[in-house]
């Protein structure tokens, strides 16, 4: 109440302007209206007063042209709601002076706002320019048959944003998104208005304010129902790739630095990390594969230079990285995690003596490194692991040879994994047979790709696998017996139902995270 008592309102713009020390305009997003307001402000404000606009799409220079003080006009773009989102974009117009920029930065700091400086006056500035690409991708996916909740579940539970993209559109207003896209198109940005958005405008499905948008609402304060179980229907990279491509355009054209772009997306949009850091996580080569349209030359050049992100030690940023081999096992430290790759693709990564020993050495290497927070394991080629090498087993002359192999070669790895203190994530790509399947029972999280196939074929040669023992049945259940006796193969979804797989990507999309 004390703060409210200090606020005075008026509809007399000229009178207010004469007493102003700093102006922030936030009228309707129409150029002619803003120009009219700025003309009156220019006529009535003291000469030294900075005139700032909260526009999200209209060029600052265009608005400034209505005044005789173009050097004192600047963009000051807040994010809704500004009481919670303590961040602004400060945008230079073509004639904005350094003194005006300095005063605006000081003002932003005085009201405890973090900020970035957008160095060039391009349509959409930084955040909205990236946003509109990502929102457009979301609507393209809907036009291909994906449901709104599948898209938004990937955004909330895999990317880690506080709200889904389409949920945000409903909250802000579908008509607002439509107008922003059209405004950016008019000002030269290469954009198409999605057909689904045109249809929603015709049907007046404007979001929460009309009770229906991408979702239906029972009341103004109701929320869309977005469940975690839908999170693996859509590859999040398919959504983010267009935004990453746009961010590359912004860097290449000197609009903003990579650090400021990431800062803006984290503070302005609630991303858990910067969009360019995410690009380094996914692999910039995978970003290129996920793009439907033209690729910005900056991205192409980065990939051509072999700077693919965390998996090579450098992408948009530099990361801790090293690679070594333990026999047929590749060990890669990728910043704060380790990727262990079984590398006998010609033998479907079958487990021979060198593989067992190499895996154990690799896991021990990761365990002693304090920077490594988690271990990821996968197989090279079309198999995760085809199980024990038949050639090795065929060389045993007696039962004692097999026992000695298990005790001295296999058991050290199994002991290491069973006592492991760091989380182990398995990425099953292709065949996981016999011991390859059983290894996954020891890992913390098992993620299976769309082409994963599981089987325990030992029963077909008269050898019951350990998974069929009383211990195995206690873990998985009697339904596993059928697969042990018949050697039947199962896909990722069947393996998930049996409890072997935690996350199945069988219906995720044609794009696979790299």
Q: What DSSP assignment string belongs to 99-162?
A: HHHHHHHHHHHHTT-EEEEE-S--TTTTHHHHHHHHHHHHHHHHHTT--HHHHHHHIIIII--S
Please say if 77 is a catalytic residue.
Answer: yes
φ/ψ of 383, rounded to 5, equals: -140, 145
Distance from C-alpha of 396 to C-alpha of 466, rounded to nearest angstrom: 19
If you search the block for the tokens 């994963």, which residue do you land on? 452
Distance from C-alpha of 476 to C-alpha of 483, rounded to nearest angstrom: 12
Distance from C-alpha of 514 to C-alpha of 424, rounded to nearest angstrom: 17
Question: What tokens were used for 171?
Answer: 């909250």
Question: What tokens were used for 472?
Answer: 């195995």
Closest to 147 (Cα-Cα) out of 507, 487, 512: 507
CA distances (Å), origin 74, targets 23, 267, 302: 10, 21, 34
CA distances (Å), origin 95, targets 20, 86, 188, 260: 22, 27, 20, 22
Question: How many other C-beta atoms are found inside a 10 Å radius of the C-beta of residue 370?
Answer: 6
Q: Let me know: does 85 contact 267? Beta carbons within 8 Å.
A: yes
Strands (E), 261-334: 321-326, 329-334
Distance from C-alpha of 187 to C-alpha of 62, rounded to nearest angstrom: 11
β-sheet with 445-448: strand ranges across: 321-326, 329-334, 337-342, 374-379, 424-428, 445-448, 503-504
Closest to 430 (Cα-Cα) out of 381, 499, 364: 381
CA distances (Å), origin 441, targets 425, 432, 447: 11, 12, 12
Helix (H) or strand (E) holding 78: strand 73-78
Beta strand pairing status for 374-379 and 424-428?
parallel
Distance from C-alpha of 175 to C-alpha of 207, rounded to nearest angstrom: 8
Distance from C-alpha of 478 to C-alpha of 468, rounded to nearest angstrom: 9
Q: Let me know: does 410 contact 466? Beta carbons within 8 Å.
A: no
Question: What tokens were used for 343?
Answer: 């590398």
Given the residues 77, 233, 238, 334, select the one marked as catalytic.
Answer: 77
Closest to 166 (Cα-Cα) out of 204, 202, 205: 205
CA dihedral 10, 15, 21, 27 (to 10 degrees): 50
Enumerate the active-site residues.
Answer: 77
């Amino acid at each position: 109440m004390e703060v409210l008592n200090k606020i005075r309102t008026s509809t007399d713009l000229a009178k207010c302007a004469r007493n102003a020390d700093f102006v922030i305009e936030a009228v309707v997003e129409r150029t002619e209206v803003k120009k009219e307001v700025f003309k009156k402000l220019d006529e009535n404000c003291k000469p030294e007063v900075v005139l700032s606009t909260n526009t999200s799409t209209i060029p600052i220079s265009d608005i400034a042209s209505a005044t005789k003080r173009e050097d004192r006009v600047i963009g000051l773009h807040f994010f809704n709601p500004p009481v919670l989102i303590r961040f602004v974009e400060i945008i230079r117009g073509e004639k904005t002076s350094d003194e005006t920029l300095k005063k605006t930065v000081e003002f932003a700091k005085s009201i405890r706002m973090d900020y970035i400086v957008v160095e060039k006056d391009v349509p959409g500035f930084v955040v909205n320019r990236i946003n509109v690409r990502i929102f457009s991708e979301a609507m393209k996916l809907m036009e291909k048959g994906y449901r709104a909740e599948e898209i938004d579940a990937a955004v909330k539970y895999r990317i880690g944003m506080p709200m889904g993209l389409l949920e945000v559109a409903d909250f802000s207003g579908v008509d607002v998104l439509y107008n922003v896209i059209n405004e950016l198109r008019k000002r030269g940005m290469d954009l198409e208005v999605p057909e689904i958005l045109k249809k929603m405008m015709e049907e007046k499905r404007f979001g929460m304010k009309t009770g229906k948008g991408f979702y239906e609402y029972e009341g103004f304060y109701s929320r869309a129902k977005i469940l975690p179980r839908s999170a693996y229907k859509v590859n999040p990279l398919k959504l983010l790739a267009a935004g990453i491509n746009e961010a590359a355009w912004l860097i290449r054209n000197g609009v903003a630095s990579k650090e400021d772009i990431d800062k803006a997306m984290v503070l302005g949009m609630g991303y858990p990390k910067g969009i360019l850091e995410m690009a380094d996580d996914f692999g910039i080569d995978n970003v290129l594969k996920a793009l439907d349209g033209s690729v910005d030359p900056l991205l192409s050049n980065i990939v051509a230079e072999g700077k693919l992100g965390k998996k090579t030690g450098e992408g948009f940023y530099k990361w801790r990285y090293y690679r070594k081999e333990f026999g047929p096992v590749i060990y890669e430290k990728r910043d704060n995690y380790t990727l262990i790759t079984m590398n006998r693709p010609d033998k479907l990564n079958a487990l021979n003596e060198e593989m067992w020993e190499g895996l154990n050495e690799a896991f021990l290497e990761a365990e002693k490194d304090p920077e490594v927070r988690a271990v990821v394991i996968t197989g090279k080629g079309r198999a995760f692991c085809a199980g024990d090498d038949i050639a090795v087993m065929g060389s045993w002359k007696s039962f004692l040879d097999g026992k000695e192999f298990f005790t001295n070669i296999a058991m050290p790895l199994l002991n290491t994994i069973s006592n492991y203190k760091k989380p182990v994530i398995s990425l099953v790509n292709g065949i996981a047979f016999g011991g390859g399947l059983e290894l996954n029972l020891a890992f913390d999280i098992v993620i299976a790709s769309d082409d994963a196939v599981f089987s325990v074929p030992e029963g077909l040669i008269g050898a019951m696998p350990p998974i069929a023992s009383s211990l195995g049945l206690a873990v998985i259940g009697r339904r596993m017996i059928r697969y042990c006796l018949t050697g039947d193969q199962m896909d990722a979804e069947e393996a998930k139902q049996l409890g072997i797989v935690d996350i199945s990507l069988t219906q995720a999309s044609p794009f696979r995270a790299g």
